[in-house]
Each structure stands twice: as C-alpha cells, then as structure tokens.
Amino acid sequence: MTTRPPQIDENPAGVDLPLEPLPGHSSRGRLERVLRRGEFAVTAELNPPDSANAQDVYERAAVFDGWVDGINAVDASGANCHMSSLGICALLTRMGYATIMQIACRDRNRIAIQGDVLGAAAMGVGNIMCLTGDGVQAGDQPGAKPVFDLDCMSLLETVRTMRDEEKFLSGRKLSTAPAVFLGAAINPFAPPYDFRPLRLAKKIAAGAQFVQSQYCYDVPMLTEYMKRVRDLGLIENCFILVGVGPLASAKTARWIRSNVPGVHIPDSVVKRLEGAENQKQEGKRLCIDIINEVKEIDGISGIHVMAYRQEEYVAEIVHESGVLKGRRPWMREAGADDALVAERLDHILHDNASEKPVDMVKNANSE
C-alpha cells in the first residue's frame, strides 16, 4: 500500500495494523517495543476535545508527530466531561498512532470495563492504563454517581486475567484474549510516603508493566522514592515513566497546588517562576531542567509529558532536553500516492485542466 520505506516499528502492510508479535512481549504495540529495547521513551497526554469532530482529535495528535512514542487518551480526567478515551483511541489507531487508553474506575462498572477492554484491543489499542480516577466532586458534574466498582488494583488484575488466562472476571472463556501492555499510575509525592513504593510493588503484583507518575516538580523526593523502589527490586519488572509538564505561570502553579488533587509543587518552584521575567518561558525551562535531572536517575525508563493546553510546546521540550538522543519516534507520513495527490491538488482544483485521455489527445493534436 505504502511505497515509502516502512519506518521502524511499523507494519509494512498498513500503519494501522498491529505489529508482528515478539517473544516476551505482551502487546503488539510500538510503546512496548521501544521500552523493551531499552530506549528512553516519551509519552504525551492528548487534551481531549469537547466536540464530536474527528478532525479536532487529529489536529491535537499531529502536534506530537515524530516526538512521542505513545499518546495517552485520558478518561475524563479531573472528572470533567470530554470525548471518551475509547472514542479517541478509535480515531487515533486508524491513523496508526500508538495510544495508551486510560480507564478510570469512577464511571463504569466491571461489566462495562471488560467490554471496553475487548473493544479497545480489537481496534488495535496496545496499551491500557488502569486508574482509579478523581472523585466526581472535582469535576464539572459534581452531581454524578461515583461508581468505583473496581479499584485500580483490581482493574489491573482483571485485565491481566483477561489477557493471560483468557477469561472474564467471572471465569467465562474468551476466544481471543486482549493483547495489551498494562500500565498504572504512581504518585510518589503524596502521603503516606513509606507506603508508596510498596504500593507500586502491589501494582506490579497485580499486573502493571509500566507506570506513569503524577507531575514531578520535586526531584529530591522522586530520587528518594526511586531509591526505595530500587531496593525493593521493582525496576526489573516495571518501566517507570516520570510525569513532567510546563507551568504557565506562578499563578497557575498556585492554582494547581490548591485545586488539583495530588500535585505537589514546592515553594522553590513557585518562587523561581515568580522571579522570572517571562514566566511562560521560565516554566518551560524549568520543565526541561527537571527532565534533565530525572533522566539521570537509575531506573527511569522515560518521561510522560503532560502539557495541558500547552501541547504545542511538547516537541520543543522533548527536543531541547535531548532525551531522544537523536532517535525519531514513529511519525505519521502520507503514503507516496497521497503525497502525489497533495502535491497536484492545487493544479487539479484550480487550473481547470482536463486530464481525461480523450481531451489530452485532442489538446496534443491541436498544438
């Protein structure tokens, strides 16, 4: 179909098709390949649109092109209503993007979730991230019924059972198991601090293969956490991606600190932003500095960039921090046939040229 040479981690038969299964891999996705090859992975979070327009999703995904190995489709983060993660994944997988579908336990019970996992895997979603989800009080619809039928741990175990034992939670058999790479979230920056590394151990025991952390603005705290994680021997069984993101201003930082649950921003960070002339620029600089510190920590396999409403800076941040080391992640490219059409589109539409063979012969004769 495509005449251009296939990129690394791409199915030559079509970008939207799953990759060849590799031994020791549980999914047929790109992200798992990158991580298992030992490369420093970059994932980013897509800001879900409040619209029913597919083009909105494609435009938001296009800014990450060639810079990230996976795109997180969030499931109503902060309990705010947006396009569903399943819907976003359906659109993005068609275009060949590697998606990480988040599932929050807040909105659906075990019947709905298991059905969604099958549907997602069938569409080619290679990575599923299991979350508890924020409480409904945090979002725009505080009157909603909080479900929380499963919690993140039992959700991980459920999906793992579906994948490895090929059965539902009830024990009913599946004819094809969902081949997914399982993810979870960690927050090393919230109490009880002693319990956090053990909780990661618990998540790994329940099936987590990679984890993405909450926003990291306190590197010493993360270092301390990672030390305990290494002592527990957890980095052999799990890829840890650290969440980072630029802060737009000191005011935003203060707002996030008091309104977004679970984000820890030390005073020094707020001070640094306040002192800067161009706060937005400084926020970006700060993010890059944090990435540079974080990538040196033993056991960190990648970063997860959450640049909420500043998605256009992701490429810049990744580039300037140099975490890719010259590697270029998969990028959506038009096939040779499409490129040809795009090149000639102007001519076809506006020059009023008839390209029917009969007319072409007639024109040639008259000349």
Partner 1 sequence: MSGNEAQKTSAPAVTQATLVKKARGKLAYKPADVSPQRRLQRRYTMRLWSVRHARFLEWVYARFADLFLMLHPFWNAIGYARAERPVKFVERHVKGLMFDCRMCGQCVLSSTGMSCPMNCPKQLRNGPCGGVRANGHCEVEPDMPCVWVKAWEGAQTMRANDAILAVQKPVDQSLRETSAWLRVTALAAHERKNTSGTAA
* Burial of 189 (C-beta count, 10 Å sphere; 0-12/13-18/19+): buried
Q: Are 73 and 60 in contact (CB under 8 A)?
A: no
- Residue from 74, 159, 185, 256 touching partner 1 (CB under 8 A): that is 185
- Residue from 23, 24, 191, 233 touching partner 1 (CB under 8 A): that is 191
Q: How far is the CB of 33 from partner 1 (least distance, A)?
A: 28
- Residue from 137, 237, 268, 278 touching partner 1 (CB under 8 A): that is 137
Phi, psi dihedral angles at 141 (to 5 degrees): -130, 70
For 287, the token pair is 């993010």
Q: Are 239 and 313 in contact (CB under 8 A)?
A: no
Q: Is 259 in the site for partner 1 (CB under 8 A)?
A: no
Report CA-CA distances (Å) from 271 to 9, 22, 267, 282: 43, 49, 6, 11
Task: Report d(CA 322, CA 242) in Å as an integer.
Answer: 16
Which candidate, 301, 237, 282, places its Cα nearest to that of 26? 237
- Residue from 261, 271, 281, 289 touching partner 1 (CB under 8 A): that is 261
- Which of positions 138-157 make contact with partner 1 (CB under 8 A)? 138-143, 146, 148-154, 157
Task: Report d(CA 235, CA 298) in Å as an integer.
Answer: 9
Q: Is 194 in the site for partner 1 (CB under 8 A)?
A: yes
**Which of the stretches 36-44, 88-96, 184-192, 271-279 binds partner 1 when contact is defined by CB under 8 A?**
184-192
- Residue from 8, 205, 348, 361 touching partner 1 (CB under 8 A): that is 205
- Residue from 60, 106, 108, 304 touching partner 1 (CB under 8 A): that is 106
Q: Is 169 in the site for partner 1 (CB under 8 A)?
A: yes
Residues forming the site for partner 1 (CB under 8 A) = 105-106, 110, 132-135, 137-143, 146, 148-154, 157-158, 169, 185-187, 190-192, 194-195, 198-199, 201-202, 205-206, 214, 261-262, 264
